[in-house]
Structure 1
Amino acid sequence: MWAHQLICGHTVTRKRKSPTGVIGCVKCIDAEEFEEFNESLGTPLESPIDDGLSEAEAKAMKYKAILAGRFGIPSEQIDVSVRTAPDGMMRVDSATVFLTGRQLKALD
Structure 2
Amino acid sequence: MEFCPTCGTLLQYERATPSRFFCPACPYVCYLESNVKIKRRQHLVKKEIEPVFTKEEMKAGGAETDATCPFCGYGRALFKQMQIRSADEPASTIYECLKCEKIWRED
* Class of the TM-score when normalised by the shorter of the 2 chains: under 0.3
Q: Max radius of gyration: which structure?
A: 1
- Per residue, is there more helix in 1 or in 2? 1
Q: TM-score, normalised by structure 2?
A: 0.21
- Per residue, is there more strand in 1 or in 2? 2
